[in-house]
Amino acid sequence: MLLMPATLPAREFRSEAEMRAFTDQVMELASAGNLKAALDLVSEAYTVVPRAELEAMTGQALLQAPMVEGRFGNSLGHEFVKEEKAGKSIVRYVQKFEKHPVGWRFVFSKPADHWLVNSFFFSDTMAEQL
């Protein structure tokens, strides 16, 4: 499991529709096999973790990507699962592989008049919790 908590100038989202468009874009990239671009896009929106740490986390995920593909097969796409609101907005997706799903979760917070990416993660064991 890769957990990436969210200290950079952050991308702000003025509406839930902007948040959803952002997460859709991330999932399109990841599902198309471009995990680096997907993670780079998410890193641009983070607020808490220094860039060096984000780069290290991205590097770790990219090292594991061939193992994931070898174990689960090719990515077949993704689907939006649900959005929850529990003080923070949580958006969930599942990335479909030939042999197993991988769950993705994005957590947004709204400290003032805009939404920020608070954290996100993806995991092969999270899919069962969706």
Tens of pLDDT along 70-111?
999 999 999 999 888 876 677 888 899 999 999 998 888 888
Q: Sketch the domain layout of the chain as residue ranges.
A: 2-129
**For residues 10 and 1, what is the distance between their CA atoms, to the nearest angstrom?**
24
Alpha-carbon distance of 71 to 100, in angstroms, equals: 9
pLDDT, mean of residues 50-75: 89
**Exposure string for 26-42, b = 16+ CB within 10 A, e = fewer:** bbebbbeeebeebbebb
11-55 residue pLDDT tens: 788 888 998 999 999 999 999 999 999 998 888 886 666 778 888
CATH topology (fold) of 2-129: Nuclear Transport Factor 2; Chain: A, (3.10.450)
Structure confidence at residue 35 (pLDDT): 93
